[in-house]
Amino acid sequence: MPKVKLDRIDRKILHDLQERGRMTNVELAERAGISAPPCLRRVRALEEAGVIKGYHADIDANTLGFGISVFAQVGLSNQSEADLKKFEDLVKGWPLVRECHLVSGEADYILKIVAEDWDAYQRFLTTHLTTAPNVSHIKSALGIRTAKYKPGVPVEIE
């Protein structure tokens, strides 16, 4: 995807939305130094250009009973594009898998998986992941603590 040209106001809008996505358009416009109608037009243009992909709530997993995060390194037997796509489509249907990244190195994918506890993860592992077609090996790492969580990308304003 080609890089989108953004001016200072676009970058300010992106920065502020990324930091606090629930602010009103009026507040966002005020922070960007423009009036509300052009601010809304810019936000819509950023959405249409695919710069803003969506909006979501940042939910604390523990409060909903998901006490552990596991990072699973998954190796496939075959890495043809068709095989990669089949695995990715399969992973999309597993709600416990929150992230799936194709990587280089020893593993083909790194998955971030949430579960209620270690036993729940092991059930997922044995009933879904290890039985998935083309999976050759899995290495699991239990997340102990999240020292930093900052979704998005750094947006330089100046």
**CATH classification number, 61-142, choose in 3.30.1490.70, 3.40.50.720, 3.40.50.12710, 3.30.70.920:** 3.30.70.920
pLDDT digit string, tens, across residues 52-82: 999 999 999 999 999 999 999 999 999 999 9
Name residue 129's amino acid: L
Locate 73 and state its tokens. Answer: 């390194």
pLDDT digit string, tens, across residues 79-126: 999 999 999 999 999 999 999 999 999 999 999 999 999 999 999 999
pLDDT at 1: 61
pLDDT at 157: 85
> Residue 42 and residue 24: Cα distance in Å, rounded?
14
pLDDT at 3: 80
Question: 3-state class of 59 per DSSP?
Answer: coil
- Residue 26 to residues 33, 34, 46, Cα–Cα distance (Å): 10, 9, 17
> Residue 14 burial by CB count (10 A; 0-12/13-18/19+): exposed, middle or buried?
buried
pLDDT > 70 fraction of the chain, expressed in percent and rounded:
99
- Residue 48 to residues 44, 79, 105, Cα–Cα distance (Å): 6, 33, 35
Residue 105 backbone class (left: φ over 0; alpha: ψ -120 to 50; beta: rest): left
- Rounded to the nearest 5°, which phi and psi values hold at 58? -90, 100
Q: Which of 118, 61, 55, 63 is nearest to 95 (CA)?
A: 61
> Residue 124 and residue 129: Cα distance in Å, rounded?
7
- Give 51's pLDDT tier (boundaries 50, 70, 90): very high
Q: Give the distance, in angstroms, between the CA of residue 24 and the centroid of all CA atoms in the same chain.
A: 24
What's the fold here for domain 8-48? Answer: Arc Repressor Mutant, subunit A (1.10.10)
Task: Answer yes or no: are the C-beta atoms of 60 and 69 closer than 8 Å.
Answer: no
pLDDT digit string, tens, across residues 15-49: 999 999 899 999 999 999 999 999 999 999 999 99
Extents of the domains making up the chain: 8-48, 61-142
Q: Over the chain, what is the mean pLDDT?
A: 95
pLDDT at 34: 97
